[in-house]
Amino acid sequence: MSHRTRRYITTPIYYASGDPHIGHAYTTILADVLARFDRLTGADVLFLTGTDEHGPKIEEEARKQSMSPIELCDVMAERFQTAWETLEISHDRFIRTTEEEHKAVVTAFLERLWERGEIYEGPYSGWYCIHEERYWTEKDLGLNHTCPDCGRPVEHLHETNYFFKMSAYQDALISHIEDNPDWIVPEVRRNEILGFLRQPLGDLSISRPKSRVSWGITLPFDEDHVAYVWVDALINYLTASGAIDLGKANGEQRFEDVSGSWWPVDLHIMGKDILTTHAVYWPTLLMGVGLPVFRQILAHGWWVVGETKMSKSLGNVIDPLALKEEFGADAVRWYLLREMPTGGDASYTEERFLARYDELANVLGNLGSRVISMIQKYRDGVVPEALGDGLDAEITETVQKATAAMTRYKVHEALAASMDLARIANGYVDDQQPWSQAKDPEASADLDQTLATLTRALTILCALFEPVAPAKMAEMALNLGLDGVPTLRAARSLGLAGRRVSKGEPLFPRIDLRRGQADTGL
């Protein structure tokens, strides 16, 4: 992660044929946490997400529901926006590929490729899966001509398409990846893409005939074809950046001059299953129009159930909104990012979810409750003033460790380090025994030191946990008498003495791991 004053972060845009699931939630929450962290470091952030709304699968699903394609897209876009609001996603822009602005940018982009001689017309033949929106070669197919991803039957198509000369950029892309080792992270994904590029690349079909697919953006140079949905979708990142001046005629947009815009993207975040599309198709298309490629891709793993990837197509997805209703948005965010090592796979189980929730309740939540209760009991609810370094060394080490992990996108490590500080602070309570200090008139200064140290630790924890648990940390800040969640830098030096604390409701009510009753006795 490079720290620029401006950071442009994106998720993929999600296909509007099904409801949000835990895979979508993980990607979007991961992007949100990184965006919030960047904002805490003082960066100006553009965080983009949205919905992909063209293609035959949308047409098919709309017919099933007796709706028009745009009616279906309107419904699904609202569901995604509601889901992200519910899960406390702080995106700056929600884009839809049916927006007129996006259609205009796609048109300008394709016109640019056409004028530069990067597109040609030719025959296409292959095995097509409508559910995955992609062609497969004979050797890739499963038994009985089924899609290797979703297992559904594929159909063999013969048609005329337009092609982008992707193969012409194979060597340039390989050189770019080799010259920029962190362009694709983690390294295992980088190596996969390089392995893919060691084989002949071929050219990319970028259109579908309207006789087969009518729901899409019409090609500017052929009224009988629409843009392939993946090409249309990828260009959304450019649309949101403001790099293309739509006030100028086709062919006159400032493709070479992106100054003053958000382009290029600083970080694309996505699941590993769509990495090839973003790490091969997308950069070669950008090269084709003469734009700089994006700065970095982070490809995360899959959520699995048993040994099987979660997928809408397979019908084995977990509803994150149902989890939110029972445990709260911050608990869902914590579980997803704490459980999955960034870049790796993770298996969802109810037991692991409850264990991670218990961590929030019994470590972080319990610490907050203990400290505030003691300040109220022993110092009339006012944070005392004290000298001494208390847990300063441990706090400094934790902040350094968590910050370093976040800059390397090791979010799970940053969260683990932050929770370790909460454990250290709980241990500090047990070591100092403020209840004993309170009984000894000669230990009054020691008690002040203990309570002041713990208040500082809670303030630091509030800042550390804010990206992953923004709502609960806002509550904690209020309970500590703060005006809001401070930045990490502010938290280290903020004057705390004299502030009045308040108990409030338990941040994370304990839940019996046997799925028992909620305990509000924190």
Which among 356, 355, 391 is positioned nearest to 371, based on CA atoms? 391
Q: Using CA atoms, how far apart are residues 467 and 41, in angstroms rounded to an integer? A: 12
191 by DSSP, 3-state: which?
A: helix
- Write the CB contacts of 255 (distance below 8 Å, at least 6 apart in sequence): 112, 243, 244, 289, 290, 291
Per-residue pLDDT of the chain (522 residues; tens, 9 = 90+): 444 589 999 999 999 998 998 889 999 999 999 999 999 888 999 999 999 999 999 999 999 999 999 999 999 999 999 999 999 999 999 999 999 999 999 999 999 999 999 999 999 877 888 776 676 767 678 877 888 877 888 888 788 999 999 999 999 999 999 999 999 999 999 999 999 999 999 999 999 999 989 999 999 999 999 999 999 999 999 999 999 987 765 555 667 788 889 999 999 999 999 999 999 999 999 999 999 999 999 999 988 876 666 665 566 667 788 888 888 999 999 999 999 998 888 888 888 889 999 999 999 999 999 999 999 999 999 999 987 778 999 999 999 999 999 999 999 999 999 999 999 999 999 999 999 999 999 999 999 999 999 999 999 999 999 999 999 999 999 999 999 999 888 998 899 999 999 998 889 988 753 344 444 333
Task: Write out the two tokens for 111.
Answer: 């016109």
Q: Which helix (H) or strand (E) holds 157?
A: strand 155-164
Which among 504, 450, 510 is positioned nearest to 476, based on CA atoms? 504
Contact call for residues 30 and 411 (beta carbons, < 8 A):
yes
- Tally of domains within the chain: 2
Contact call for residues 493 and 342 (beta carbons, < 8 A):
no
How many beta carbons lie within 10 A of that of residue 459, not counting itself?
Answer: 25
Phi, psi of 227 (to 5 degrees): -70, 140
Q: Is the domain of 289 the same as that of 426?
A: no
Q: What is the pLDDT of residue 29?
A: 97
Q: Is residue 234 part of a domain?
A: yes
Q: Is the domain of 133 the same as that of 237?
A: yes
262 by DSSP, 3-state: which?
A: coil
304 by DSSP, 3-state: which?
A: strand
β-strand partners of 48: 10, 93
Q: Is residue 343 part of a domain?
A: no
β-strand partners of 95: 50
Q: Is residue 331 part of a domain?
A: no
Q: Is residue 330 part of a domain?
A: no
Question: How buried is residue 22: exposed, middle or buried, by Cβ count under 10 Å (0-12/13-18/19+)?
Answer: buried
Q: Is the domain of 365 the same as that of 409?
A: yes
Beta strands 222-227 and 207-209: pairing type?
antiparallel
Task: Write out the two tokens for 360.
Answer: 């929030």
Q: How far is CA 179 from CA 3, 162, 183, 275, 345, in A?
A: 20, 32, 9, 19, 28
Phi, psi of 349 (to 5 degrees): -140, 150
Q: Is the domain of 431 the same as that of 317?
A: no
Q: Which residue has the tokens 């929106």?
A: 133
Secondary structure (DSSP) of 422-460: HHHHHHHHHHH-HHHHTT-GGGHHHHHHHHHHHHHHHHH
Q: Which helix (H) or strand (E) holds 156?
A: strand 155-164
Q: What is the pLDDT of residue 314?
A: 60
How many beta carbons lie within 10 A of that of residue 421, not counting itself?
Answer: 25
Q: What CATH number should be reported for the domain holding residue 254?
A: 3.40.50.620
Q: Is the domain of 309 the same as that of 378?
A: no
- DSSP assigned state of 142: B
β-strand partners of 300: 271
How many beta carbons lie within 10 A of that of residue 104, not counting itself?
Answer: 16
Q: Is residue 336 part of a domain?
A: no
Q: Using CA atoms, how far apart are residues 57 and 67, in angstroms rounded to an integer? A: 13
Q: Is residue 329 part of a domain?
A: no
Q: What is the pLDDT of residue 522?
A: 30
Q: Is residue 332 part of a domain?
A: no
Q: Using CA atoms, how far apart are residues 394 and 398, in angstroms rounded to an integer? A: 6
Residue range(s) defining the domain that contains residue 452: 349-519
Q: Is the domain of 259 the same as that of 183?
A: yes
Q: Using CA atoms, how far apart are residues 4 and 41, in angstroms rounded to an integer? A: 10
Q: What CATH number should be reported for the domain holding residue 452?
A: 1.10.730.10
Contact call for residues 20 and 14 (beta carbons, < 8 A):
yes
Q: Is the domain of 304 the same as that of 426?
A: no
CA–centroid distance for 305 within its chain: 21
Q: Is the domain of 127 the same as that of 223?
A: yes
Q: Is the domain of 315 the same as that of 363?
A: no
Q: Is the domain of 101 the same as that of 239?
A: yes
What's the chain's length in residues? 522
- Give the burial string for 362-389 (b: 16+ CB within 10 Å, else e): bbbbbbbbbbbebbeebbebebbebeee
- Write the CB contacts of 410 (distance below 8 Å, at least 6 apart in sequence): 341, 342
Q: Is the domain of 307 the same as that of 402?
A: no
Q: How many CA atoms lie within 13 A of 363 on its CB side?
A: 19
